[in-house]
């Protein structure tokens, strides 16, 4: 899909929103399935975001430097008898990008904006 460099897709903005929400918690990190669950609640969707859609967006955000990731310690996963998780965390650039995206969304929906007048 063609997109302007630096622009974020709605799903990417939503993921950054989830990352911002989680930032205040103990570790400030989230894994893929956790993001899918939080996105479902946040967007009031009926289903979890599909694997392909979610991980493609997470990878794009990471490549763009908006998220950083680390693999969980193998021993922790082994102790809990489950596969290893990959944890994501928002970066300073990610926070800036999220604020920019919110500002432009606010401008687009503000009353009196040409072409996007309220109904």
Partner 1 sequence: MKLAALRAKGLATWLALLWVRCYTRGLAQELRESRRAEIASDTWDQVHGDRYASGAWVLVRCLLGVPADLSWRLEHSATAHAPGRAALRLLAIAENGGRWIVRRGLPGLTVLFAGFYALLGFIVLVTIPLNENAPHADLAWFGGLCLLASAFIVIGSRRLPRHAKSGSAILIVGAIPMSLALMVTVVVPGVAAIVVGSEVVRGVRARRRQAAGNPVAGGGARRQ
Which span (15-23, 27-35, 99-107, 111-119) binds partner 1, by CB under 8 A? 27-35
Which span (45-53, 90-98, 100-108, 110-118) binds partner 1, by CB under 8 A? 45-53
Which span (19-27, 31-39, 97-105, 106-114) binds partner 1, by CB under 8 A? 31-39
In angstroms, give the least distance from the CB of 112 to partner 1.
29
* Phi and psi torsions of 108, nearest 5°: -65, -30
User: According to the binding rule CB under 8 A, does residue 8 interact with partner 1?
Assistant: no
**CA-angle at 90, arms to 71 and 77, nearest 5°:** 20
Write the CB contacts of 30 (distance below 8 Å, at least 6 apart in sequence): 18, 19, 22, 38, 87, 88, 89
> Which secondary structure element, helix H or strand E, spans residue 68, and what is its range?
strand 67-71
State the residues that interact with partner 1 by CB under 8 A. Answer: 1-2, 11, 31-34, 36-37, 43, 45-56, 59, 71, 82-86
């Amino acid at each position: 899909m063609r997109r302007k460099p630096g622009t974020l897709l709605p799903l990417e903005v939503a993921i950054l929103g989830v990352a911002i929400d989680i930032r205040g918690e103990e570790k400030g990190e989230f894994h893929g399935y956790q993001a899918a669950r939080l996105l479902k609640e946040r967007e009031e969707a009926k289903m979890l975001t599909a694997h392909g859609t979610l991980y493609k967006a997470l990878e794009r955000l990471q490549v763009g430097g908006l998220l950083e990731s680390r693999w969980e310690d193998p021993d922790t996963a082994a102790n809990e008898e489950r596969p290893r998780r990959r944890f994501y965390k928002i970066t300073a650039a990610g926070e800036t990008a999220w604020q920019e995206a919110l500002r432009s969304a606010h401008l687009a929906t503000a009353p009196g904006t040409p072409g996007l007048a309220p109904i």
